[in-house]
Chain A
Amino acid sequence: MNPFEKIFNYQILSRLDETGAFALTSQERVWLKSMLQLEAAEHAFTPETLDKLHTLLQDEEPFHLQHIIIEKGRNKERHVYHPLLRQLRRFITGGQGFRLTMKLKHGGHKVDQTGIPYKLEYSMVKREWYLLWYGTRQHSLMSTKLRNIVEIHAWNLSAERAAAAKARLFELLEMRKRGALIEVNPLYNVELSRVLSAFSCFDKKVSYMEETDTYRIHIQHLADETEFLLSKIRFLGLRVKVIDEGYMKKRMLEASTKALMRYAASEPLP
């Protein structure tokens, strides 16, 4: 199970590409066999395919690597697979429009929403699936939890309308991009790896100023990710500081002021 096998070498890979062959190793099959034991597998395949896969993999050795791993700080899982994934991924690749009914957050349903799908997105934080789509009624970009979809059917729209909707979708996605500039307090430079790890899940660029030994992180995110980014900044506390003027800075001032008011309310601050 050494992942550094010769057969994975990039030159072999591209040579194989040229000849139309591929190498399938037992470590890949063994990994798959262990993943098929998870509940997720039941939603991923038809029962016939699942049987077929079990038969194809029956001679492989079991995989025990997971036994030595302890996971910490992990959110409770809602699901890894959702039964709608198979249908929706086919809508996406087929460019198929849909009509859907969804549950609302505070009760009730929203019926007959039409749109075209963009991507299926899994949130590692919420541990569940979302459908990103363009609503042809709302003319906006939507993000709907799969567990809130009550009903979904194919809905046909003309090729021109579909193309226009898709173009608008990309425009909207572009418009939702935001930037944030964060500076690492040089007193905490020894913890740089921790700080950068925490931000490594964002699209970011880092700059370094040698004279002052200061690091700045330029983050590009989508508008709806602002709250998550703010929670990361609070998570890191004194180590980092938002330095560009604007919303994020205002929110950080608000959070600290309000937090101090909470403490003062229970007993006067020293």
Chain B
Amino acid sequence: MARESFDKEIQFLRLLALTGDAYNRQQFAARLGISVHTYDKTLRYLKEMMNANQQGLTSEQDMELSEAIRYNHYESADPLLLFLYRAKSIKASEGVRFALLLSSMREQALTAMELMDICSEAMPADYPVPDEKTIRGDLKYMEEIGVIFRTDGKRPFRYRASTGLVDALSEDELIDLYDFVDILANTQIPSVQGYLLRDTLKKALRLRGLDTDITESHVYKYHFHSRILDEAHLYTIYQAIEARRKLTFLYLSPKKEKRYASKNTNPLFERESEGIWLTVLPLRVIYDHQYGRWYLIAHQTKQGVMKFRMEGLTGVELSDAVTAEEFDIRLAHAERNLQQSWVIDTMRPIPVKVRFFRPEGSKHDFVRERVELQGQWGTITDESETTFIYHIVVNGITEIKPWLRSFGSSCEVLAPSWLRKEFIAEWKEIQSYYEPVREDL
């Protein structure tokens, strides 16, 4: 069976999270490279999922998807994009069976035969009663993913739901655990597993009869929530790096208009694919906190070190392995190249010298505080009562430039002189954006 790919859903949700309802159906479909019909179908599926997911959590029914995904700081810390990970398709009967099996094994340890009896009694009439093979298959799967465990080694094996982590805790301890998971999932990466656990614990708290707003005490300022969509590829990349295997994928540069390319089975209608198929050796991933974006760092025979935005990866598959020696050489080389990168730039290192000014009329030097917090490996030297100098050697200037510019008039570039000139030219142009138009008399 072909592996189910969520590329379309990922790109769909990302475009929706970034642009909201800016586009109409045709425009949205065109940008994703899908038909309007596929657009409608995908939207319906996502909405259905969202509504099912929110059951019992909010009273708002049938909310527009774009509205639901809209970031609302003080209303909810629920990461709505998480429902991407709830999209794996199943048969309706499977859903009923899994729920029945798990709730039975929560009470006591049971054998496959006992579970079969329970199913034949309790399965709703519209679904077929499962046979022994099906039950054994389900148990094998659930044991593999750790949802159940074998209670002892004696045949016939008895299985129980692995909910000990939750059951062994008092109410107060469970609240502490929920908070811990909530906070760590929101502030650390990777976070998808944390968010999934957060959902599970939320449910456990509800089952203990605790009020739903018990989970609403923490909020997080300035989240890049589409970051959790990129984590979809993280696991495959991790597997590849661990096994030193290459990855093959179709890379669609996010700078292109189209964000996804549907695979048409009829070759007559096959469009010229806009992306490029690549095979590379993955080495590391980089998370950029400034934009909340992920990058894949890889090596390719012809190009050397290559960097990809994770959001451009589609159709990711594992390929051939390389030797440990080769992997180590490539990794060391990439790490050397990236050592002085503000984010991922591997251009030649350039010394940059900048003067920062203390904020006027404020006792608190928030400029210095910010440079200390964000200035990475740069060094600070005092210059005068009102100024200090910041030095850094950085690979290329494109990535540090926006950061320097964000300080506005509190920052003056001293060297290199061409960068100084660039800043002057840019500020002139920005000034022209805002200057009142003078009328000639």
Q: Which residues of A contact B (CB under 8 A)?
A: 1-32, 35, 38, 40-41, 44-46, 49, 52-53, 56-57, 64-66, 68-76, 80-81, 85-86, 89, 92-93, 105-106, 119-127, 173, 190-191, 193-194, 196-198, 200-208, 210, 215, 228, 230-232, 234-238, 241-242, 249, 252-263, 266, 269-270
Contact = CB atoms under 8 A, between A and B. Distances in A.
Given A44-B176, A85-B179, A15 B96 contact: yes
B187 A215 contact: no
B157 interface: no
B17 to A, nearest CB: 7
12 contacts: A1-B235, A3-B231, A44-B183, A65-B238, A69-B190, A72-B286, A85-B183, A89-B217, A89-B218, A201-B224, A255-B430, A259-B408
Given A23-B147, A105-B364, A119 B217 contact: yes
Given A4-B85, A14-B52, A197-B18, A70 B284 contact: yes
Contacts of B1: none
A68 B222 contact: no
B409 A72 contact: no
B368 interface: no
Interface of B: 4, 6, 17-23, 27, 49, 52-53, 55-56, 70-74, 83, 85-90, 92, 94-96, 98-100, 102-103, 106, 141-142, 145-147, 161-166, 168-169, 173, 175-177, 179-181, 183-184, 186-190, 192-194, 196-197, 199-200, 203-204, 207, 211, 213-214, 216-226, 231-232, 234-235, 237-238, 241-242, 254-255, 284-293, 297, 311, 338, 341-344, 357, 363-364, 372-374, 376, 401-403, 405-409, 411-412, 414, 420-421, 423-424, 426-431, 433-435
A125 B328 CA distance: 35
Contact of B142 (A7, A20, A75): A7
Contact of A122 (B147, B220, B231, B242): B220
Contacts of B85: 3-4, 8
A22 B219 CA distance: 26
Contact of B433 (A14, A28, A194, A241): A241
B103 A19 contact: yes
Given A28-B200, A253-B431, 18 more contacts: A3-B85, A7-B145, A16-B102, A17-B203, A24-B165, A28-B193, A32-B165, A40-B183, A70-B338, A122-B220, A124-B223, A201-B223, A201-B224, A205-B70, A208-B23, A230-B408, A235-B406, A252-B430
A158 B220 CA distance: 30
Contact of B186 (A64, A122, A235, A255): A122
A197 B193 contact: no
B372 to A, nearest CB: 7
| Highest count of chain A CB atoms <10 Å: which of B98, B234, B403, B429 | B98
A-B CB proximity, top 8 nearest: A26-B146, A258-B409, A15-B99, A31-B193, A21-B103, A256-B431, A255-B408, A19-B103
Contacts of A266: 412, 414
Nearest to A66: B190
Contacts of A198: 290-291
B44 to A, nearest CB: 14
| Highest count of chain B CB atoms <10 Å: which of A68, A242, A253 | A68
B140 to A, nearest CB: 13
A230 to B, nearest CB: 8
B20 A259 contact: no
A213 to B, nearest CB: 11
A21 B431 contact: no
B366 to A, nearest CB: 9
Contact of A24 (B74, B147, B184, B403): B147
Contacts of A127: 373
Given A234-B408, A259-B408, A68 B238 contact: yes
Contacts of A123: 221-222
B86 A10 contact: yes
B402 A237 contact: yes
Nearest to B222: A201
Given A3-B192, A68-B284, A200-B71, A122 B218 contact: yes
B188 A208 contact: no
A20 B435 CA distance: 63
A6 B89 CA distance: 7
B428 A260 contact: yes
A6 B141 contact: yes
